[in-house]
Amino acid sequence: MDIKVSTIETFGQFVRDVRKRHTDLGQVEAARLIGVSPPVMNKLEQGKEVWLSKALDICNGLGIEIILRFPDDEEAG
C-alpha cells in the first residue's frame, strides 16, 4: 500500500499504524529492538520532529520502505 505523506503528523501516524498492525511489539520494546530511545519513537509516532537519521532507523526497523520521486516522475507512479 502506498501512502502520500506531506506532514510529520501523517508520517508519525503511519509509523504507529505499521508498528501496531504488523508487529506484536509495544512502543518501548520496538524502540529498543530497533536501537532508538523510547522517547524518540514516541515523538515520531506523536507527529513531532525527530532527527531524520532516527526516523529512517525506525522505518528500516519496521520494514517501511521510503521511495523518493523527482517531481517530473510524480504522474508516472
**How many angstroms separate the CA atoms of 23 and 18, rounded?**
8
Structural domain spans, the chain: 8-76
Q: Specify the pTM.
A: 0.86
pLDDT in tens, 3-54: 889 999 999 999 999 999 999 999 999 999 999 999 999 999 999 999 999 9
Residues 6+ apart with CB under 8 A from 15: 44, 45, 55, 58, 59, 62, 64
**How many angstroms separate the CA atoms of 73 and 48, rounded?**
29
Average confidence (pLDDT) over 56-71:
94
pLDDT band at 66; cut points 50, 70, 90: very high
CATH number of 8-76, picked from 3.90.226.10, 1.10.1060.10, 3.40.50.970, 1.10.260.40: 1.10.260.40
